[in-house]
């Protein structure tokens, strides 16, 4: 292989890696989102600490989602808000019952 061809192959490989990196990052936050919000049907049985951990995950996810493209951002922020509000309500409920 000649040197100019080799440079072209290397440049193409670097470009492919650079383009693939955002896809991996996107899949990562979406997997975390799915994992976090999929637990909403178990919120009543969770401990106070588990609910706090989920709220922290929701807050971290919100920062990542806010950097996404507009339509993705709108949809996922709304869905995340619903999950977070449920977890926050359950945490408040459990803490008020512990105080009694």
- Reported as a single tens digit per residue, the pLDDT across 26-49 is 579 999 999 999 999 999 999 999
CB distance 77 to 65 below 8 Å: yes
pLDDT digits (tens, 9 = 90+) for 53-81: 999 999 999 999 999 999 999 999 999 99
pLDDT digits (tens, 9 = 90+) for 91-100: 999 999 988 7
* SS (HEC) of the chain: CCHHHHHHHHHHHHHHHHHHHHHHHHHHHHHHHHHHHCCHHHHHHCCHHHHHHHHHHHHHHHHHHCCCCHHHHHHHHHHHHHHHHHHHHHHHHHHHHHHC
**Count of residues for the chain?**
100
Global pTM reads 0.72
**Distance (Å, rounded) from C-alpha 36 to C-alpha 46?**
13
Torsion of Cα atoms, 74 then 61 then 49 then 94, to 10°: -10
For the chain, the C-alpha Rg in angstroms (whole number) is 21
pLDDT digits (tens, 9 = 90+) for 11-28: 554 444 454 445 445 579
């Amino acid at each position: 292989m000649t040197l100019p061809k080799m440079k072209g192959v290397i440049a193409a490989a670097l470009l492919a890696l650079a383009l693939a990196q955002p896809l991996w990052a996107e899949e990562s936050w979406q997997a975390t989102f799915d994992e976090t919000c999929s637990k909403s049907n178990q919120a009543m049985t969770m401990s106070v600490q588990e609910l706090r951990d989920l709220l922290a995950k929701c807050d971290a996810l919100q920062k990542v989602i806010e950097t996404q493209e507009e339509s993705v951002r709108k949809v996922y922020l709304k869905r995340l808000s619903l999950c977070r509000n449920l977890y926050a309500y359950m945490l408040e409920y459990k803490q008020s019952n512990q105080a009694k």
